[in-house]
Amino acid sequence: MLFERVKSLDHILESAETRGLKRQLGAFDLTMLGIGAIIGTGIFVLTSVAAGKAGPGMMFSFVIAGFVCGLAALVYSELAAIVPVAGSAYTYSYAVFGEMTAWMVGWALILEYAIAAAAVAVGWSGYINGFLHEIDFGLPLALTAGPADTILLQDGTSAAGGFNLLAFLISVFVTFLLIIGTAKSARFTAILVVVKIIALTAFIVLALPAVNSTNFEPMLPNGWGTPLSGVGVLGAAASIFFAYVGFDAVSTAAEETANPNRNVPIGLIGSLTICTVFYLIVAYAAVGAVGAQPGSELSLSKEPLAFVLREVGYPITGNWVATAAIIALPSVVLMMLYGQTRVLFTMSHDGLMPRFFSRVHDRFHTPHVVTLVTGIAVAFFAAMFPVGMLADISNTGTLFAFFMVSLGVMVLRRREPDRHRPFKTPMIWVVGPLAMAGCALLFVSLGWATIRLFLFWAVIGLVVYFGYARKHSHLGKQRAAG
């Protein structure tokens, strides 16, 4: 069924003008939204997860994940400039491969955005509860860990968590922000981006002088890793890939962007470049300052950056960095939820999701129904599952979507070579295959348990498509009527 029910690019652009979203975001807004979506749980929290899998070798993991994301950003920029509408990889796949492939990509994007939002909310809860314990005001562990989490008790025994109340509440708060308006959310995010950059800069300034070369030995305690193992440098790269995800959320804002042909590529590439530089320096400082061997205190910490500063003699600044994470991580939850609602909004407008998902609020001009439904679902996921599991599951959907977008750009180059491209991916016949190979390598490096969950989700997606979406597809009905 590949290439069946393909929606033309011209049709997509025409229908976008009827959806009622207001173009109000500029290049600066998009760059801030991109940075806001990227800098978050990945660097503030998953640094410890990467340390547990690769030790000091996580430095290579950051480089590998950043390289693959850089290739994907170049590819995304071309399609986002050609098709500046909401929907991200889902919309691009509809134009290139057809409806069923587009549905599967959109179904995978639920893992990328919604599950990612839940993962960030869990990461935020770890920082705020760690901070509260520092000032002797911490909540009971049962209220800051989900049932799938294991809690280490003071007597050395362990127990299952209960309901992560903090993660649940922050998800609900961000949902409210998104409902009241996109422009308000963008300005709120810009403020939080500044807070995060200040926090990371302070961490670098204080941790770099404490770097000790002995902390990098052995550099590769678990080796490079093998496919399906989920450990080693490749396993850590597959997990830390989550730290870069978010730049593509900029493309979901294309339909609400002024001059999108210019501003969307700037937002995509600019935000990823800035974040990559910060990530590499922060990872080097963290590893060099306290060591990062699997099983070390850093690898077990739920607030690794604050932990590092406390260990090198800056407990007060460590608390301030924790405070910055507490203040700023909600911007990542916001951007992930934003991306998810815009994808579902577009799918609803195509008839593949229930019609009420595409309702736009009369006053706020936002898709309030789908935002509320998505926000509630994310809140419960955040309350029930641990951050590492959520991040890895999210990565499966992201890598699948990136793979399809990379393939789609090359197909479109051959099918419509004369179409105007405001931004062209350089050396597409090198960049495209490299991006696909990188995504495939990281996907299999997530480990078989995670891949099995993705395959289960994909099967459910096919059942929903043939049971509901295909019958209600507007394009399908138009073809049948024609």
Q: In whole numbers, what is the pLDDT of the chain averaged over residues?
A: 82
- Residue 431: is its pLDDT beyond 60? yes
According to DSSP, the residues that pair with 158 across neighbouring strands are 152
Model confidence at 375, in pLDDT bands (50, 70, 90)? very high
Model confidence at 249, in pLDDT bands (50, 70, 90)? low
Say what the pTM is. Answer: 0.84
Query: Most confidently modeled of 45-49, 141-145, 279-283, 291-295?
Result: 279-283
Under 8 Å between Cβ of 84 and 264: yes
- Residue 17: is its pLDDT beyond 70? no
Scan for tokens 């033309």, then name that residue: 8
Under 8 Å between Cβ of 196 and 328: yes
E strand or H helix at 159: strand 158-160
Under 8 Å between Cβ of 96 and 414: no
- Residue 21: is its pLDDT beyond 60? no
The CB density around residue 277, as the number of other CB atoms within 10 Å, is: 11
Model confidence at 137, in pLDDT bands (50, 70, 90)? low
Distance CA 12, CA 297 (A): 51
Q: What is the mean pLDDT of residues 222-234?
A: 83
Q: State the DSSP code for 208.
A: G
E strand or H helix at 152: strand 150-152
- Summarize pLDDT for 98-135 with one digit per residue, the tens: 889 999 999 998 888 899 899 889 888 888 887 777 76
- Residue 73: is its pLDDT beyond 60? yes
Instruction: List, in order, residues 6 or more apart from 48 with CB less than 8 Å away.
Output: 298, 299, 300, 301, 302, 304
Under 8 Å between Cβ of 406 and 198: no
112 by DSSP, 3-state: which?
Answer: helix
- Residue 182: is its pLDDT beyond 60? no
Under 8 Å between Cβ of 190 and 164: no
